[in-house]
């Protein structure tokens, strides 16, 4: 660690040099100054950790130097030497940049004690800075970030068409999920703190996410993703092979061991059912959430493998989900209510878990509709969380249904407002949808079906409000995103093309040059000039 001595008397500076074996204490004196102004000039030129300064000096005294250091060099520690008459004044300046103070004449053992204390703090701060830098280096490429976002879409959103889903998975290098016989298992991992300091969870949330990404990377066929609906949780999707049991236990042990060792946090892990085929991913995800929901309160680490039988998994057929969606988008609360009661009351013989599965599917559907109509207000988010909480409690079916109906009614009112907004809110919703799904194969016909509006009317209304037609808006949006992705040098041109919805890099380059005036390669090279 580097230190500078500041005093207007050269003999005192020499004396301070002789009082301590600086190297033995881990310090190197790299400069001297005769007043605060000189000290600031040196700080601007050199990398210095500690300033040892006299209180009384001409031009700029020690207290003013400490204040300026706090403003301009906040990582520098300032230790002030003062006479007895200035003692109270210096002590009162601790909030103004003074890290510590010593009375003159300075006793060697007192100086050593202060230096060791400050040195320990500097080492700890530098250790944290190194850890932060390492964590930043672990941030994945934008390709992997988009992969994770798409995994969340697969398990939470209303799908377009299966063939479009498989095409997008190929584009994102997730081909291994396309096979109709692919079997996967989901894991829900929550971090909990073992002391009474919940703020630690917030501080360690990003390192936890980065650590999960690293763990997923170590296990072949494993991906992690984050669902904003659930705080302090990361979810894993793992492809299952012949060594299924070993793979599962190995992943769980790796997560708990590393989170405890590196972050000093406890983990609660819910292990979901193994499911086969893309259409069953939602059920697999829900099963991991339901397994987690059966955990005990408290900070101790837990693993809940609540295997759920096929009889307990209530399958919500796609046509029934379509009925619920149509009821909301046609502003027909009565139809939605009738269908909900048919689905969730059933024949009265369904199990609690079967009910919870079906209720979660309805909740996911309503969340998707809220996003679709850009209706993720704080009130809606709170209602969604209340719905989820009531489902997890597994003891009040009537309250679950009541909460789902209240949420649906709020969303229906938003849709009703959009229908009578002379098209503006519908266009806003379409625009919001395009911003999320710009890379998918989206046509005006598809949008008109999704938003229950005549395609010719949608086309005209969109152009009136946005100032350009739908196809031009979509291409421009893709080109904006492409420019962002091209800044990531780890992505190949074909990667960027795929990320913005082009399967052919040659056609992508042609479109890019037409709109931007440069080829993707030229644009990327221009970033360095």
- Do the Cβ atoms of 177 and 184 come closer than 8 Å? yes
Tell which residue, 427, 438, 439, has the closest CA to residue 466.
427
- Do the Cβ atoms of 155 and 279 come closer than 8 Å? no
Query: Encoding tokens for residue 515?
Result: 């709109």
Q: Measured between alpha carbons, how far is 230 from 389 in angstroms, rounded to an integer?
A: 11
**Alpha-helix residue ranges (DSSP H) falling in 92-181:** 108-137, 142-156, 162-171
Query: Encoding tokens for residue 366?
Result: 């309503």
Coil, strand or helix at 484: helix
Q: Is the pLDDT reported for residue 422 higher than 90?
A: no
Query: Encoding tokens for residue 399?
Result: 């309250």
The class of domain 142-308 in CATH terms is alpha beta
End-to-end CA distance of the chain: 37
pLDDT at residue 139, as a whole number: 41
Measured at the CA of 11, the angle between CA 34 and CA 106, to 5 degrees, comes to 95
- Do the Cβ atoms of 474 and 437 come closer than 8 Å? no
133: confidence class by pLDDT, cuts 50, 70, 90: low
Q: Please tell me the CATH code under which domain 435-526 is placed.
A: 1.10.10.60
Mean pLDDT calculated for residue range 53-75: 88
3-state SS of the chain: helix, strand, coil percent to 5?
60, 10, 30
Q: How far is residue 164 from each of residues 24, 228, 284, measured CA to CA in Å?
A: 67, 25, 21
Q: Measured between alpha carbons, how far is 445 from 464 in angstroms, rounded to an integer?
A: 18
Task: Give burial (CB, 10 Å; 0-12/13-18/19+) of 81.
Answer: buried
Coil, strand or helix at 527: coil
Measured at the CA of 68, the angle between CA 64 and CA 74, to 5 degrees, comes to 135
More confident: 271 or 135: 271
CA-based R_g, the chain, Å: 31
Q: Is the pLDDT reported for residue 151 higher than 90?
A: yes
196: confidence class by pLDDT, cuts 50, 70, 90: low
Provide the Cα torsion 243, 247, 248, 253; round to 10°: 150
Coil, strand or helix at 382: helix
More confident: 188 or 455: 188
pLDDT at residue 396, as a whole number: 80
pLDDT at residue 476, as a whole number: 94
In the chain, how many H helices and how many E strands? 23, 10
Mean pLDDT calculated for residue range 183-207: 87
Tell which residue, 329, 291, 334, 311, has the closest CA to residue 158.
329
- DSSP classification of residue 44: H
Query: Encoding tokens for residue 500?
Result: 């913005």
Q: How far is residue 47 from each of residues 14, 35, 41, measured CA to CA in Å?
A: 22, 18, 12
Q: Measured between alpha carbons, how far is 291 from 394 in angstroms, rounded to an integer?
A: 12
Give the model confidence (pLDDT) of 197-238 as tens digits: 778 888 899 899 989 998 998 888 999 999 998 989 999 999
- Do the Cβ atoms of 363 and 384 come closer than 8 Å? yes
350: confidence class by pLDDT, cuts 50, 70, 90: low
Q: Measured between alpha carbons, how far is 508 from 482 in angstroms, rounded to an integer?
A: 10
Give the distance, in angstroms, between the CA of residue 511 and the centroid of all CA atoms in the same chain.
Answer: 32
- Percent of the chain topping pLDDT 90: 34
Q: Is the pLDDT reported for residue 5 higher than 70?
A: yes
Beta partners for residue 133, in sequence order: none
Tell which residue, 190, 292, 285, has the closest CA to residue 238.
285
Query: Encoding tokens for residue 432?
Result: 């919001």
- Do the Cβ atoms of 364 and 282 come closer than 8 Å? yes
pTM summary value: 0.66
Q: Measured between alpha carbons, how far is 356 from 358 in angstroms, rounded to an integer?
A: 5
Give the model confidence (pLDDT) of 240-289 as tens digits: 874 544 567 889 999 999 999 899 899 999 999 999 999 889 999 999 99
pLDDT at residue 138, as a whole number: 43
Do the bridges between strand 183-192 and strand 266-276 make them parallel or antiparallel, or are there none, so unpaired?
antiparallel
Coil, strand or helix at 369: helix
- In which residue are the tokens 């290098």 written? 173
Alpha carbons within 13 angstroms on the beta-carbon side of residue 376 total 10
pLDDT at residue 55, as a whole number: 85
Q: What is the mean pLDDT of the chain?
A: 86
Tell which residue, 444, 436, 435, 387, has the closest CA to residue 411.
387
Q: Is the pLDDT reported for residue 342 higher than 90?
A: no
Q: Kindly state which CATH superfamily the domain 2-137 is placed in.
A: Response regulator (3.40.50.2300)
More confident: 196 or 386: 386
Q: List, in order, residues 6 or more apart from 155 with CB less than 8 Å away.
A: 186, 281, 282, 284, 285, 364
Q: How far is residue 349 from each of residues 164, 313, 354, 394, measured CA to CA in Å?
A: 38, 13, 10, 15
Query: Encoding tokens for residue 525?
Result: 């090279």
Q: List, in order, residues 6 or more apart from 432 with CB less than 8 Å away.
A: 371, 372, 373, 374
Q: Measured between alpha carbons, how far is 236 from 271 in angstroms, rounded to an integer?
A: 10
Q: Measured between alpha carbons, how far is 462 from 435 in angstroms, rounded to an integer?
A: 14
Q: Is the pLDDT reported for residue 307 higher than 80?
A: no
pLDDT at residue 48, as a whole number: 92
Of the listed ranges 29-38, 52-61, 84-93, 174-183, the one predicted with least confidence: 84-93
Cis-peptide, bond into residue 105, ω within 30° of zero: yes
């Amino acid at each position: 660690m580097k230190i500078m001595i500041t005093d207007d008397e050269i003999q005192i500076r020499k004396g301070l040099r002789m009082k301590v074996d600086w190297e033995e204490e881990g310090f190197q004196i790299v400069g001297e100054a005769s007043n605060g102004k000189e000290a600031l000039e040196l700080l601007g030129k050199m990398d210095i950790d500690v300033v040892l300064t006299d209180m009384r000096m001409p031009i700029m005294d020690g207290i003013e130097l400490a204040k300026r250091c706090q403003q301009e060099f906040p990582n520098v520690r300032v230790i002030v030497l003062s006479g007895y008459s200035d003692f109270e004044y210096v002590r009162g300046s601790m909030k103004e940049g003074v890290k510590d103070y010593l009375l003159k004449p300075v006793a060697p053992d007192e100086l050593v004690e202060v230096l060791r204390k400050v040195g320990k703090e500097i080492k700890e701060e530098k250790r944290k800075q190194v850890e932060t830098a390492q964590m930043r280096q672990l941030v994945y490429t934008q390709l992997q970030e988009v992969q994770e976002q798409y995994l969340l879409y697969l398990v939470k959103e209303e799908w377009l068409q299966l063939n479009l889903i498989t095409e997008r998975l190929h584009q994102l290098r997730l081909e291994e999920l396309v096979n109709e016989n692919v079997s996967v298992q989901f894991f829900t991992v929550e971090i909990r703190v073992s002391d009474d300091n919940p703020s630690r969870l917030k501080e360690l949330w990003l390192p936890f996410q980065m650590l999960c990404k690293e763990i997923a990377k170590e296990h072949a066929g494993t991906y992690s993703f984050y669902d904003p609906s659930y705080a302090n949780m990361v979810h894993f999707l793992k492809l299952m092979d012949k060594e299924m049991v070993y793979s599962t236990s190995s992943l769980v042990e790796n997560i708990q061991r590393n989170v405890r060792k590196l972050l000093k946090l406890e983990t609660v892990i819910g292990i979901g059912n193994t499911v086969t085929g893309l259409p069953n991913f939602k059920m697999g995800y829900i099963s991991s959430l339901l397994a987690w929901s059966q955990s005990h309160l408290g900070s101790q680490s837990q693993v809940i493998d609540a295997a759920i039988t096929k009889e307990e998994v209530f399958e919500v057929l796609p046509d029934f989900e379509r009925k619920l969606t149509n009821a909301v988008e046609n502003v027909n609360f009565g139809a939605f209510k009738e269908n909900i009661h048919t689905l969730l009351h059933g024949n009265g013989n369904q199990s609690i878990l079967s009910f919870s599965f079906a209720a979660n599917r309805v909740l996911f559907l309503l969340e998707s509709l809220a996003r679709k109509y850009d209706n993720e207000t704080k009130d809606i988010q709170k209602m969604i969380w209340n719905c989820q909480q009531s489902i997890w409690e597994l003891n009040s079916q009537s309250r679950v249904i009541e909460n789902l109906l209240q949420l649906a009614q709020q969303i229906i009112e938003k849709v009703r407002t959009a229908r009578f907004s002379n098209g503006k809110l519908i266009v806003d919703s379409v625009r919001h949808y395009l911003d999320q799904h710009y890379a998918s194969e989206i046509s005006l016909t598809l949008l008109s079906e999704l938003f229950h509006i005549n395609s010719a009317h949608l086309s005209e209304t969109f152009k009136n409000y946005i100032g350009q037609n739908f196809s031009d808006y979509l291409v421009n949006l893709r080109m904006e995103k492409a420019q962002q992705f091209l800044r990531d040098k780890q992505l190949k041109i074909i990667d960027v093309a795929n990320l913005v919805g082009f399967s052919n890099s040659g056609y992508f380059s042609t479109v890019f040059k037409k709109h931007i005036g440069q080829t993707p390669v030229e644009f990327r090279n221009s970033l360095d000039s």
